[in-house]
Amino acid sequence: MKITSVVPLALAAAFALGSFAATAQESDPATVKPAKPLGTQQQRMRTCNAEAKAQSLKGDERKAFMSTCLKGGAKAVAASDAAKASEPTAAQIKRKACSDDAKSRGIKGGERKEFMRTCVRDDRLSHAD
């Protein structure tokens, strides 16, 4: 009976050694297969991520940038940035209106600074009292 109980033990030891050898072979850098080259979309994703990181974009700005970048690449982003630069934002329009209002009233110095602060914060553009 001792012979039959040794056989399963020997098989288990052989299996364990075989598994260990296979694991050691997989971790050997010389036997690891090279990674597949990145596809076009994967390369674009990598490039867009790098650009977004370089520009320190976060949140919604990053989402918008990534969407534009992934759809059309860097050329589309540059065109989008140029279009944004030529169109004034709502805040810029409001500051311009407040500045024109202060100029028409002849307000200068610290009084102008305070007027501009309250005007820009106010939802209404008319400050005629």
Which span out of 8-17, 34-43, 78-87, 120-129 was modeled with the highest average pLDDT? 34-43
CA quadruple 16, 20, 23, 27: dihedral, nearest 10: 170
- How many CA atoms does the CB half-sphere of 3 hold within 13 Å? 0
pLDDT band at 56 (very low <50, low <70, confident <90, very high): confident
**Mean pLDDT to the nearest integer, 51-77:** 80
Residue 48: Cβ-neighbour burial (10 angstroms; 0-12, 13-18, 19+): buried
Sequence-separated (6 or more) residues with CB below 8 Å from residue 95: 116, 120
Which amino acid, one-letter code, is at 52? A
Does the pLDDT value for residue 4 go beyond 60? no
* This prediction's pTM: 0.33
Q: Lowest mean pLDDT of 27-31, 38-42, 111-115, name the range.
A: 27-31
Longest C-alpha distance within the chain, in Å?
Answer: 112
Q: Compute the average pLDDT of residues 45-49.
A: 85
pLDDT at 48 over 50: yes
Return d(Cα 57, Cα 63) in angstroms, integer: 9
CA 31 to CA 25: how far, in whole Å?
A: 7
